[in-house]
Structure 1
């Protein structure tokens, strides 16, 4: 019995260490996102610029999904079951935000396409009023998978099922069609990938034809598109890892793969948005430094 007990203790210790590492990473990402969101609301010019408005949407979406999935992770870690109806309330914004970020990334690529390939119409197409319509379109498109998933779930689940206690996971909504959720997301992501590739090709053509300052700006736009494409790729890969996990029979290997997948393909994409537009963008980075230095100065003078 002693060897078995030592293995159980070792597994529990590893799980606790992993949970603590995840908590530290999530806290770091949430703190960075919080500072960037504060900076966005502090400076007036960001509220009227299309790319910063879209950037703020990704920050809010990523912060929401990090917070809610962390709650679900803690519940699973401590084997805490909750009623299905409560799990639905928590999972609804999670399923929505999973799609909001990539759809917003696609909108940001289109904004760069308009700015570089259609500069004379950029002011008209990317105005503050147009952005309000764009936000509605983003959330409408993002809600399509939620509507389909929950429609099939509500049609197949009995009334008593909502009162039952279960470990909260989005997998419980796949009781009718186990691969429906992944199939819907893959179709959406395929469409988004096609849009990004076509935008990249168009911007590349403009970059080759441009000269001087225009060439520098288009090159910068191309780099941004490539970074967004990489982030979208990570979001797409996270849809495939449930299939990878399902093929693993060894429990220890399964736990290790699941942990690596969560870090690499779930948390990693959530930290790229701040790096791309928060720290890489000169205007936003200057505002971020100015705001934080001002806060620190005020604290030191008290």
Structure 2
């Protein structure tokens, strides 16, 4: 990485790439903080499934980016920490990194129910079902972490947990089959999340073609939302392939590996988490109006018809 003129501990200069990441992460936190406070401004937002899932995603993304950024800094400056601490970092990151794509899948299914099954929407997308969905998402998101942690604990000695190492996910891969197992789980999850997206898209497309008047306009808007979710989810799912690609590159050239990892972090981790504010912060008229009220301290008092 290209260096700047600042040095940490006299060891390694601060890279321009690290500075860019810090700026992007700070910008992300500022935007997300504004969005999260907006969610709690109006009862509609914390009693409606899509907004609850949206807020949960923002919270998970904030936690993920904070901890991943901390690990990135520790890793860049080669600062060793005890393995058990890295264990905690990895567990939280593994949970958060999968929460977003699963939540996006649930949000897409909510749009499918709203457009294709409007009479059942109130019952199927109730607050109780929303909370149950979030619990299921947490369970599904934690499964890969449990598998990786279990296989690592079964293969490693107890003394390794008190050692100090530079924290990265590769330290939990003691055997080649560990990597293969993690890759297989990621592929299965990729398919699990892709199927509902395609199903919802084609069903909504059929309704959009058959609709007319205001229903047609509303349905096509819902279809565009699903398409944005699909693109956002695609970026999130590609990140499940990144460890395999990075591992293959690492075996050939470390310099290229660092460049690929930086590209993956910006493109498949930061970018999809910046699309949520675009989809619900700007495209959703009700939320956008509340966001303007929040930004301009209540200058916009007139609420749109819901």
Question: TM-score, normalized by length of structure 2?
Answer: 0.89
Preserved CA contact (<8 Å) 1:65 1:94: yes
Structure 1 unaligned residues grouped into runs of 5+: 1-6, 298-302
Change in Cα spacing, 1:22 to 1:211, as seen in structure 2 (3 Å) is: same
Q: Paired residue for 1:192?
A: 193
**Could you say what the CA RMSD is over the residues aligned between the two structures, in angstroms?**
2.1
Change in Cα spacing, 1:209 to 1:9, as seen in structure 2 (3 Å) is: closer
Give the Cα separation in 2 of the matches to 1:159 and 1:296: 60
Q: How many residues align?
A: 290
Q: Paired residue for 2:257?
A: 254
The match for 1:269 among 268, 272, 286 is 272
Question: SS at the partner of 1:45?
Answer: coil
Preserved CA contact (<8 Å) 1:174 1:181: no
Question: SS at the partner of 2:88?
Answer: helix
Q: Paired residue for 2:173?
A: 174
Q: Does 1:26 align with 2:13?
A: no
Give the Cα separation in 1 of the matches to 2:72 and 2:241: 19
Give the Cα separation in 2 of the matches to 1:21 and 1:114: 40
Deviations 1:148-186 (A, max 9, x none): 111111211110011111111122222241232232122
Give the Cα separation in 2 of the matches to 1:295 and 1:169: 45
Which one has a larger percent helix, Structure 1 or Structure 2? 1
Preserved CA contact (<8 Å) 1:186 1:236: no
Give the Cα separation in 2 of the matches to 1:204 and 1:174: 43
More off after superposition, 62-71 vs 34-43? 34-43
Q: Does 1:93 align with 2:116?
A: no
What is the Cα deviation at residue 210 of structure 1? 0.9
Question: SS at the partner of 1:82?
Answer: strand
What is the Cα deviation at residue 51 of structure 1? 0.6
Q: Paired residue for 1:151?
A: 150
Question: SS at the partner of 1:294?
Answer: coil
Q: Does 1:125 align with 2:124?
A: yes
Q: Paired residue for 2:220?
A: 219
Q: Paired residue for 1:244?
A: 245
Structure 2 unaligned residues grouped into runs of 5+: 301-306
Preserved CA contact (<8 Å) 2:186 2:240: yes
What is the Cα deviation at residue 83 of structure 1? 0.5
Question: SS at the partner of 1:46?
Answer: coil
Give the Cα separation in 1 of the matches to 2:265 and 2:13: 15
Q: Paired residue for 1:103?
A: 102
Give the Cα separation in 1 of the matches to 2:4 and 2:67: 28
Give the Cα separation in 1 of the matches to 2:184 and 2:247: 16
What is the Cα deviation at residue 240 of structure 1? 2.2
